[in-house]
Amino acid sequence: MCQVNPRYVLRNWMAESAIKKAEKDDFSEVQFLLKVLQSPYTINDEAEKKGYADSPPKWACTISVSCSS
């Protein structure tokens, strides 16, 4: 299963966290997401600590996404 299912997938809450930091000229989270998502099958200790493979944090329930396509 681990060979065909990525451990890390971009979620809205991850993008939201990166965007909030980037709006303050801190692009570290954007760079980190890029690094993690380039190897989504490889366990990354820092991503694990940030909960990237866990269920979304409670605050993520308030995120609403719209599509204007």
> What is the domain partition of the chain in residue ranges?
12-62
Q: What is the pLDDT of residue 56?
A: 87
pTM of the model: 0.80
pLDDT single digits (tens) 44-55 = 999 999 999 998
What is the band of 1 on the pLDDT scale with cuts at 50, 70, 90?
low
Judge whether 52 and 14 are in contact, CB under 8 Å: yes
The model's pLDDT over 5-30, given as tens digits with 9 standing for 90+, comes to 999 999 999 999 999 999 999 999 99
pLDDT value at residue 68: 66
C-alpha 45, offset from chain centre: 14
State which H helix or E strand residue 11 sits in: none
